[in-house]
Structure 1
Amino acid sequence: MTDLDALALRFDMAALGIVSLKAEGDGRDVDAFNLRLYWTLGEGAAKIAWGFQGDHGRCTVALGKHIGEDRARRVCASYHKDLFGVAPSNEVNAEKPPVPDDWDFDADSPEDALKPVEDDEA
């Protein structure tokens, strides 16, 4: 399995669509839910590079610009637990791979952030 395949498995958009529909119908704050989707699966997720070392710190910095560092730390911990089933910790971070050198932090989605390996043989 390639890095891109592994990343795609973490961010299954079909399942998210089902979750989004549930949020709209059960009285939850849809705007907050849409922000959660943005930062965990959309363009914001590409900026954070979830699943790689330092993801919680990058999230805290990115969200801290908007909601303050203390609140951002708590929100990012919640996002991390949603994505990986565990709270962020030094032990969890150490088990993650480093961010690939070619990661595009300005991509539209995590799937687009990993540039495909070019085959030089033509």
Structure 2
Amino acid sequence: MIMLDGLTGERLDVTSKSANGWLSDPAFWDIDYDTTPTVASDVYPENGFGGGVGVPGAFTFTPKARGVVSYTYSFNGGPEVTVAAGADGAARIDWTPDSDGSCDLQVYATSRTGIQLATYDYSFTVN
């Protein structure tokens, strides 16, 4: 049996059955990988202070996995917004805060085959 979830890794479980009916112990192989997007902003650096109320900033989303076609994001638990990825799998959004303080940007990518990849949590503080 192969279990392919695409989110954080792959796993292969194997057993064998001999001609006389003997069933082997199960064995497995697995690999974990990071499918979260890379998030960057010059104006609002991760785990730092930047910008200010009314100061626009750009955020760039870059894939760690192949075949990314879109990104879905939300600021501070608000409505989710989906943007298309470019041919290189990256996307850029512009955002202007209407209040100061801590902010949380959550972003995940979706692959060409429709798999939702792992969410990245990008925290920063608006001056």
TM-score of the two chains, using structure 2 as the length reference: 0.24
Larger radius of gyration: 2
Structure that is richer in strand per residue: 2
TM-score of the two chains, using structure 1 as the length reference: 0.25
